[in-house]
Structure 1
Amino acid sequence: MSSLTLRISEDIKRQLEVLAQATGRTKSFLAVEAIRAYLKTEEWQVAEIRRAIAEADQGDFAEEEEVQGVRDKWQRDAG
């Protein structure tokens, strides 16, 4: 396993210490879990953006009726 040095604010450090004590986990474990969750989310978003760009490059856009249907659904659900 590799190591990584990070500079974090005192506030984040305190929060990490409190959570580590409350959960019985190490600060390192919690930090790795937080980074893992962040990377998973970011990887998903980047993959979706790349797929959308590929679709757009191929001219695959939503029809006006599809867009209007989604807009109508959001307006109904919001009201």
Structure 2
Amino acid sequence: MSPMSFLIPDDMAESLSRLARDTGHSESFLVLEAMREYLQRESWQIEEIKDSLRELEAGNTASAEEVNALWEKWGKGAN
């Protein structure tokens, strides 16, 4: 593992300490879990955006009529 040092606001430090105490986990464990979840979510989102841009560049798009037809099919059309 690689060491990392950073400052956090006092209110976050207090919340982290309280959560660590209440859950029986270390503060390091909780920070690592939070970072892991954040990185997974952000990485997934960026990959989805990249995939969408590749589809757009390849011309794989739907017309407004096709999109509207799907919205109507799914019961989400404008009323």
TM-score by length of 2: 0.85
Q: How does 1:54-69 map to 2 (within 5 A)?
A: 54-69=54-69
Q: 1:64 to 1:33 in 2, by over 3 A?
A: same
Matching of residue 38 in structure 1 with residue 45 in structure 2? no
Judged with a 3 Å threshold, the aligned counterparts in structure 2 of structure 1 residues 19 and 68 are, in CA distance, closer, same or farther, namely same
**1:21-56 deviations in Å (ceiling 9; x for gaps):** 010000000000000000000010000000000001
3-state SS of paired residue (1:66): helix
SS at 2:76 equivalent? helix
Identical aligned residues as a percent = 36
Return structure 1 stretches of 4+ with deviation > 6 angstroms. none
Q: CA RMSD in A?
A: 1.9
Richer in helix (by share): 1
In structure 2, the residue matched to 1:2 is 2
Name the CA shift for 1:70/1:22 in 2 (closer, same or farther; >3 Å). Answer: farther
Quote the Cα distance in structure 1 between the aligned partners of 2:41 and 2:70: 24
Deviation at 1:3, TM superposition (A): 1.2
Gaps spanning 5+ residues in structure 2: where?
none
